[in-house]
Amino acid sequence: MKKWKIIKIITIGVLALFIVSQVYDAVQCMQLQYPQLALGIETFSWIEQYSIQLTFTMIWAGIPLIVDIVLLIISIVKTRKQGKQMI
C-alpha cells in the first residue's frame, strides 16, 4: 500500500502541474502573446494556438495516468489470485 500512496501523490502532482500549465497557456493564447511558429504561420487564432498546445500537453500529462491505471489493474489481478489461493 505504501507504493500506491507514492504513485497517488505523484499522479496528483502531475495533474496539478497540468492544470496550472493549461490555465497559463490559455491566458497566453487569449492575449495573443504565445506565437505558434508551425509551418511558419503566425496568424492562428487563440483557439487554434491553444488546441495545438493542448495536444502536446495531453501527451505528457497522460503518461502518468496510463501507468497508474496499468499498475492498478496489476494490483487487482494479484489480489484476486492471492484470494483464490487462500480458499
Question: What is the percent of the chain with per-residue pLDDT over 70, rounded to a whole number?
Answer: 75
Q: What pLDDT does residue 1 have? A: 60
pLDDT band, very low/low/confident/very high, at 32 (cuts 50, 70, 90): low
Indicate the average pLDDT of the chain. 73
The answer to whether the CB of 29 falls within 8 A of the CB of 50 is yes
Residue 36 clears pLDDT 60, i.e. is over it: no
Domain region containing 63: 2-86
Burial zone of 49 (CB within 10 Å; 0-12 exposed, 13-18 middle, 19+ buried): buried
The number of distinct structural domains making up the chain is 1
pLDDT band, very low/low/confident/very high, at 45 (cuts 50, 70, 90): low
